[in-house]
């Protein structure tokens, strides 16, 4: 996670009287809000919470281990081929649970958008404030894209968001199709009159290519998916 990224779902230790989970809890009887005393934990904070649970439960956790293949065994079970510290070994297990995360392996090659290899994926950013330059184009306008724009703006960098859907104007009963309140609230802060530099939000656009510009930087080509918005009134 970038240093500035936080959980969008709030942590609150409510088990004492409601017997319900902290939204960000992964184990009954635990609460990131209690352990970390943070409502919106950072990635580093949440890692500390997970480590405490792993130690308390005496889990056998192997880090820096790459799974190469999973193959069923006649009669039941699986052979799991892994690589760790440069050595390949096969482990046998009765069951295998896939829990690598939906976006653990982002598509960064040219098979998604021409020139994608020239872009910097969100997961590769250590801190938005430490990036070189004073402007950035952000492709994508959902949670991570808007989070990037907010943190770039707070770092004094001009951000332009190109999105297929203007999520900042969407309000529905389905929380998976609109920005989280935490994200929307922070976006309103950096787009308010008087804030500088305010992010530029552009939608509905579909990015088709990214190329190096002869004068330096990059050219990002996009197509309007509908009628472009009218120019601002002078």
Q: 57-112: per-residue pLDDT in tens?
A: 999 999 999 999 999 999 999 999 999 999 999 999 999 998 887 777 787 776 77
To which H or E segment does residue 48 belong? helix 43-56
What tokens were used for 92?
Answer: 């046998």
Taking 90 as the threshold, does the pLDDT of residue 188 lie above it? yes
Mean pLDDT score, 202-220: 95
For residue 161, what are the β-bridge partners?
138, 201
Three-state DSSP state, 82? strand
193: exposed, middle or buried (C-beta count within 10 Å: 0-12, 13-18, 19+)?
A: exposed
Mean pLDDT of the chain: 92
Q: Determine the length of the chain.
A: 234
Average the pLDDT over each of 18-27, 58-67, 135-144, 208-217 and give the range with the smallest value: 18-27
pLDDT at 110: 67
> Smallest Cα–Cα separation from 160: which of 179, 139, 130?
139
Average the pLDDT over each of 95-99, 109-113, 114-118, 172-176 and give the range with the smallest value: 109-113
pLDDT at 232: 64
Q: Which residue has the tokens 């004492």?
A: 16
pLDDT at 168: 95
Taking 60 as the threshold, does the pLDDT of residue 173 lie above it? yes
């Amino acid at each position: 996670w970038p240093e500035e990224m936080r959980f969008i779902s709030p942590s609150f230790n409510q088990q004492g009287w409601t017997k319900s989970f902290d939204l960000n809890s992964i184990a009954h009887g635990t609460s990131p809000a209690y352990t970390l005393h943070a409502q919106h934990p950072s990635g580093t904070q949440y890692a500390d919470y997970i480590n405490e649970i792993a130690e308390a439960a005496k889990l056998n956790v192997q880090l820096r281990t790459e799974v190469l293949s999973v193959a069923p065994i006649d009669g039941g079970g699986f052979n799991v081929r892994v690589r760790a510290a440069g050595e390949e070994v096969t482990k046998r297990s009765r069951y295998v649970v896939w829990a690598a995360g939906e976006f653990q392996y982002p598509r960064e090659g040219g098979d998604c958008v021409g020139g994608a290899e020239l872009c910097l994926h969100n997961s590769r950013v250590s801190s938005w404030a430490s990036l070189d330059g004073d402007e950035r184009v952000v492709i994508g306008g959902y949670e991570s894209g808007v989070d990037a724009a907010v943190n770039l703006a707070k770092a004094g960098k001009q951000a332009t968001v190109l999105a297929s859907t203007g999520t900042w104007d969407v309000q529905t009963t389905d929380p998976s199709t609109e920005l989280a309140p935490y994200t929307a609230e922070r976006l309103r802060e950096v787009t308010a009159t008087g804030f500088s530099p305010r992010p530029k939000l552009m939608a509905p656009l579909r990015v088709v290519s990214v190329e190096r510009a002869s004068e330096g930087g990059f050219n990002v080509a996009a197509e309007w998916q509908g009628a472009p918005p009218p120019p601002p009134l002078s």
